[in-house]
Chains A and B, each alone.
Chain A
C-alpha cells in the first residue's frame, strides 16, 4: 500500500504548485481577458487563437514545444541554466506546464465576465471623473469577480489534472516532480493498482470540489444593469 506520507507529499505538492501556477497566471489572464473584452486591434484573432491553442492541442504537443523552449540546448534554456535556473526535470517545469495549460481556461472565463459587465457603468464612472485604472479596480473587477474566481478555480482544477505537458517537461520524478496524475500513471505502469486507486479517489474528490464550486459561482451570477 502507498505510505500515507507519500500520498500526503504528492497531494500537497500538486496543490501547492497548482496554486502557485494559478496565482502566477492570474494577473496576466485578467489583463489579457480585459483586452479581449474591451479592445480591438489588428491580428487580435491571431492572439486569441494562440491563447486558445493549449486548450485544444494534445497536451504532449504543448509539452514538446515547452521542452524545446526551455531545454538546455535552447537559447533560453542555456541562459537560465547559466544563472542556475533549471526548468526541465524540476518543479519549475511543473509550474510552467501547469500555467501554460490552464491559462486559456482562465482567460475564457474572465473574458466572459468582463463582457457581461455593462460598459455604460464604466462610462458613467468616467463622466464622474474616475481614471481608467480606478474604473477597472472599483467598477469592472468587483462586478466581474465571480467570473474571475470561477475561472481561477477552473484553471486550478486543470492545473491539478495536468499530465502530458508535465511529464515531458518536468519528468515523473518521485518526490521532486511527481504530481497526482503522474503518480497514478506510475502506479498503473508498475501494476500497483491499490495505490493508483487511492490517488484516483483523491483526484476525483478534488476535481469534483473545485469544478462544482466554479459552476456554483457562475450560476449565482446575476445580470447587473
Chain B
C-alpha cells in the first residue's frame, strides 16, 4: 500500500468518526441539560435536628416528601454539637434545637433568618432503667443507692437533656452525689442505647425517647411543674441557599398534620 492511499483513507475515516463523536456528545449534553433542569426545580434541604426528634421528623418528612418535589435530609445529633457545626459553617437550612441556649447562641452570632424563629414543642424528662433490671428504682433519690453504680447522661455541660437533668438534680440537692456515677455520652439516643445495653443501671432521657424503645422502662417521670421547662425552638438559617423550600418545610412542620404526628410520638405541642 502506498502511503498516499493510507493517508487519504485515514482522513476520510477521521472525518466520519469526528461527526459521530460530535453527535453522541451533543445527545449526552442535551440529556444532561434536561436532567439538570428537572433537578434544579427540586431542592434538597438539610435539617439539623436534636436527636430526640429522629423518629417523629422521619415520619413527618415521609408524608412531606410524598407531596413535595423537595427532598429533606436530616442531620440528627446533640443540639449543642449541631449548633457548633453551624457556627463553623455547616450548610444547614433549618435548625431544630432541644433547648433555647443553643438557638440563642446562633441568634447572638446573627446566624438566624429574621422572623423565622419559633418555639414549637416541649417534652418531659424521665428516668429509665434496663427493662430487665432487678434493682428497685422509683425516684431520683434511689439513684443514690450503692447498687446504682453507673448512670448514663448526655454531656451535662452542653447537651440539652444533660443540662436539663443536671439542673433538675441540682435543684433536688442530689447532683453532688449523682455526679461521680455519671457516664457522659454523646446525646439522648446514646443515653437510651447505654441503658438498653444494660451496662448502666439508669439514665435520663425524654419521655418521647423512652417510648420508642422496648428494652427500657420508665421508673420516674419528672413532674412538668417541678422539672426544668423544656422548649424546642426551630428556625431557618440566614446562610441557607434555599430559603423558600426551607420555609415550605417549616410551614409543613407547623401544620395540623405534623402537630398530630408530634402528639402521636408523645411531644407536647406549644401553640
Contacts and interface: CB of A to CB of B under 8 A. Distances in A.
A99 interface: no
B199 to A, nearest CB: 5
Chain B interface residue count: which class? 10 to 19
Interface residues of A, number: 15
A71 B158 CA distance: 28
Describe A's contact surface by its main secondary structure: loop
Given A89-B150, A189-B84, A191-B84, A71 B197 contact: yes
A174 interface: yes
Interface string A85-129: 010110000000000000000000000000000000000000000
A164 B155 CA distance: 18
Contacts of B81: 189
Contacts, number: 38
A172 interface: yes
B155 A171 contact: no
B198 interface: yes
Interface in B199-248: 199-200
A173 B199 contact: no
B155 A189 contact: yes
A171 B183 contact: yes
Given A71-B199, A73-B198, A191-B84, A89 B155 contact: no
Interface string A166-184: 0000011110000000000
15 contacts: A71-B198, A72-B197, A73-B199, A89-B200, A171-B184, A172-B184, A173-B182, A173-B184, A174-B184, A189-B81, A189-B155, A189-B158, A189-B186, A190-B157, A191-B87
Given A72-B199, A173-B182, 19 more contacts: A71-B198, A71-B199, A72-B198, A73-B197, A73-B198, A73-B199, A89-B150, A89-B183, A89-B200, A171-B183, A171-B184, A172-B185, A174-B184, A189-B84, A189-B155, A189-B158, A189-B186, A190-B157, A191-B87
